[in-house]
């Protein structure tokens, strides 16, 4: 007899598709709820799911890891469904990084912006070139991202002197090994889906030099 599995929403913030992403989302959500002193039962349930997934990774048994990942997805999805029933749903979704209530597919025309505070920048060396990687939390409803560089003529921080160019596209919340010159650089990230797009606030990165 075939066992029918619960189909998860196509939203990485609710049902992350890799063990690493699931560990991250479990930690983000339970931490956000704990800081709000909200839903203590769900905090413990998410912590238990995180421990189970971490243990499965340590054991290295493929079937065990698959089951633990599935359990983590189901727990996150159930937590989101519960949060959406509460009077404070909008506020809790915002702090936990969940989509706003009612804004999950099939309401696919909704999209949220990337939060610049979640951007983590790292640098690697390739020969004499510094490569820059940008990792960030998914934007609700997004299926692709563009990294935009913002430049200012003569360093004049005004709208008339402002130029913006898309540099690279990604279907995951990661721009890996981007070649950039050293110095102070300004960026925005455009979140997109087949229906609409929205762009983040500007953020600044100091790209180091090897010399």
DSSP 166-199: EEEEESSSEEEEEE--SEEEEEEEEEE-SS-EEE
Cβ contact 22:16 at 8 Å: yes
- Whether the CB-CB separation of 184 and 132 falls below 8 Å is answered with no
Domain count, the chain: 2
- Mark whether 123 and 156 lie in a shared domain: yes
What is the pLDDT at residue 63? 94
139 within some domain: yes
| pLDDT band per the 50, 70, 90 thresholds, residue 2 | very low
39-74, pLDDT tens digit by residue? 999 999 999 999 999 999 999 999 999 999 999 999
Average pLDDT, the chain: 90
Residues 80 and 125 in one domain: no
What are the CA-CA distances from residue 199 to residues 52, 102, 136, 173 (Å)?
A: 36, 21, 14, 14
The domain in which residue 186 lies consists of 116-207
Are both 194 and 123 inside the same structural domain? yes
Specify the residue for token string 């290295």.
Answer: 60
Query: What's the pLDDT score for residue 1?
Result: 41
Nearest to 143 by CA among 211, 101, 190: 190
Can you spell out the DSSP letters for 4-54?
PPPPPPS-TTTS-SSHHHHHHHHHHHHHHHHHTT--HHHHHHHHHHHHHHH
Q: Which two tokens stand for residue 109?
A: 């025309």
Q: For 98-114, how does the pLDDT look when each residue is reduced to its tens digit (9 = 90+)?
A: 998 877 755 456 889 99
Contact 208, 180 (CB under 8 A): no
153-166: string of b/e by CB count within 10 Å (b at 16+)?
A: eeeeeeeeeeeeee
| Residue 3 pLDDT greater than 50, yes or no | no
The residues, any chain, with a CB within 8 Å of residue 17's CB and separated by 6 or more, are: none
Phi, psi of 98 (to 5 degrees): -80, 155
- Residues 184, 120 within the same domain: yes
pLDDT digits (tens, 9 = 90+) for 118-173: 999 999 998 888 999 999 999 999 999 999 999 988 766 667 678 899 999 999 99
The per-residue pLDDT for range 58-67, each reduced to its tens digit, is: 999 999 999 9
Closest CA to 131 of 207, 203, 53, 57: 207
Predicted pLDDT of residue 79: 96
Is there a single domain that holds both residue 77 and residue 134?
A: no
Query: What is the percent of the chain with per-residue pLDDT over 70, rounded to a whole number?
Result: 91
Residue 182 lies in a domain: yes
Question: Would you say residue 78 has pLDDT above 90?
Answer: yes
Give the CATH number, domain containing residue 130. Answer: 2.60.40.10
- Looking at the predicted structure, is the pLDDT value of residue 31 above 90? yes
| 77: in domain | yes
pTM: 0.84
CB 163 within 8 A of CB 185: no
Token duo for residue 211:
């010399």
Residue 5 tokens read as 């599995």
pLDDT at site 203: 96
Residues 202 and 121 in one domain: yes
């Amino acid at each position: 007899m075939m066992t029918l599995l619960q189909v998860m929403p196509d939203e990485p913030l609710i049902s992350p598709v890799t063990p690493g992403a699931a560990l991250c989302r479990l930690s983000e959500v339970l931490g956000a709820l704990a800081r709000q002193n909200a839903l203590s039962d769900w905090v413990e349930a998410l912590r238990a799911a995180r421990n189970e997934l971490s243990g499965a990774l340590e054991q290295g048994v493929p079937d065990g890891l698959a089951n633990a990942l599935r359990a983590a997805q189901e727990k996150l999805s159930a937590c989101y469904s519960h949060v959406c029933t509460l009077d404070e749903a909008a506020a809790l979704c915002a702090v936990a990084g969940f989509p706003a209530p009612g804004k999950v597919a099939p309401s696919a025309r909704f999209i949220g912006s990337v939060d610049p505070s979640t951007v983590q920048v790292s640098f690697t060396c390739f020969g004499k070139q510094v490569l820059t990687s940008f990792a960030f939390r998914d934007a609700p409803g997004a299926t692709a991202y563009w990294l935009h560089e913002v430049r200012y003529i003569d360093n004049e921080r005004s709208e008339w002197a402002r130029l913006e160019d898309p540099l690279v596209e990604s279907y995951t919340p990661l721009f890996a090994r981007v070649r950039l010159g050293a110095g102070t650089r300004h960026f925005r990230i455009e979140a997109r889906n087949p229906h609409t797009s929205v762009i983040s606030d500007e953020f600044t990165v100091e790209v180091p030099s090897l010399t």
